[in-house]
Amino acid sequence: MPDPISRKRHMKKVLDRWENEGGSLPVGQTKPSASISSDHKTERIRPMKIVPHKRETTNANTLHHTHNDLPAQMRADIVPILNARLADAIDLIHQGKQAHWNVKGRNFIALHKLFDEIVAAAEEHMDLIAERAVQLGGTAEGTIQIAARRSELEPYPLEISDEQDHVAAMSAALAAYGKRMRQAIDQSDELGDKDTADMFTEISRGADKYLWFVESHQDREAHTARKRKAG
């Protein structure tokens, strides 16, 4: 049997003669390099597929199949609205827990329990919104990281402990939350999805109810004194 070096030289001569005579290489055959080792195996290089790491937009082509009779483009337009408000609900859950854990004052037990009720309500809202997105063929995007990036609520102050400070902070959070839900009602209605608009109406009513509960704990005299001091 010829040694590997002789075999390689022979193949090179055959291929060089083939090319000089105007031929082409046989299918699957590659021209060996002088520097190639005898035990080298030629591998085909496949083009790398580039997959986007993040997807911030939704269109009709990205929806999962469903027999839902709402138009695909309408559903594609509704899903980003749902995911935006999902981020607000997730944020409100954690803001409520921050208040629940840290509130101090003579009304501690009442506010401690009330803030936890707000958390429970926001968790229900979170599920309603996320499940609606999936029902429409979309993807519910509800990780902590994406919620932190998308939420339109102001960050909850971490340094406060006084009950009146928490009442003010939670009131502001609930007011902003309710406002965003009402905007979503109008957006959904304009797109023709009355079911989603109805869901956001239910959520906004709940936000208003808890805003009423929290603001009822506001010490008017202390609030007036704080405003004078701030002025």
Same domain? 6 vs 108? no
Same domain? 117 vs 226? yes
pLDDT value of residue 195: 98
Task: Kindly state whether residue 50 falls inside one of the protein's structural domains.
Answer: no
Same domain? 103 vs 199? yes
Same domain? 125 vs 208? yes
The domain of 29 spans 1-33
Task: Kindly state whether residue 175 falls inside one of the protein's structural domains.
Answer: yes
**Long-range Cβ contact pairs of 203-212 (< 8 A, separation 24 or more):** 203/85, 203/89, 203/125, 203/128, 203/129, 204/178, 206/121, 206/125, 207/174, 207/177, 207/178, 207/181, 208/178, 210/114, 210/117, 210/118, 210/121, 210/174, 211/171, 211/174, 211/175, 211/178
Tell me what percent of the residues of the chain surpass a pLDDT of 90: 68
172-195: per-residue pLDDT in tens? Answer: 999 999 999 999 999 999 999 999
Task: Kindly state whether residue 206 falls inside one of the protein's structural domains.
Answer: yes
Same domain? 112 vs 15? no
Same domain? 23 vs 133? no
- Cα dist from 63 to 75, 91, 140, whole Å: 8, 26, 12
> Confidence band (pLDDT; 50, 70, 90) for 10?
low
> Confidence band (pLDDT; 50, 70, 90) for 55?
very low
Task: Kindly state whether residue 177 falls inside one of the protein's structural domains.
Answer: yes
Query: What is the arithmetic mean of pLDDT over 49-78?
Result: 75
Same domain? 79 vs 181? yes
Q: Of the ranges 19-23, 32-36, 101-105, which is most confident? A: 101-105
Average pLDDT score, the chain = 84
Q: What is the count of structural domains for the chain?
A: 2
CATH code for the domain in which residue 226 is found? 1.20.1260.10
Same domain? 84 vs 23? no
Nearest partner of 177 among 143, 151, 148, judged by Cα: 151
pLDDT value of residue 39: 47
Per the model's pLDDT, the better-predicted residue between 131 and 230 turns out to be 131
Measured distance CA(58)–CA(142) in Å, rounded: 15
Task: Kindly state whether residue 223 falls inside one of the protein's structural domains.
Answer: yes
Same domain? 25 vs 126? no
Task: Kindly state whether residue 126 falls inside one of the protein's structural domains.
Answer: yes
Query: What is the arithmetic mean of pLDDT over 73-102?
Result: 98
Q: Given a cut of 70, is residue 143 above it in pLDDT? A: yes
Neighbours of 25 (CB within 10 A): 11
> Confidence band (pLDDT; 50, 70, 90) for 202?
very high
Task: Kindly state whether residue 53 falls inside one of the protein's structural domains.
Answer: no
Encoded tokens for 146: 């994406």
Same domain? 9 vs 116? no
Same domain? 152 vs 212? yes
pLDDT value of residue 48: 43
Same domain? 20 vs 130? no
pLDDT value of residue 220: 77
pTM: 0.72
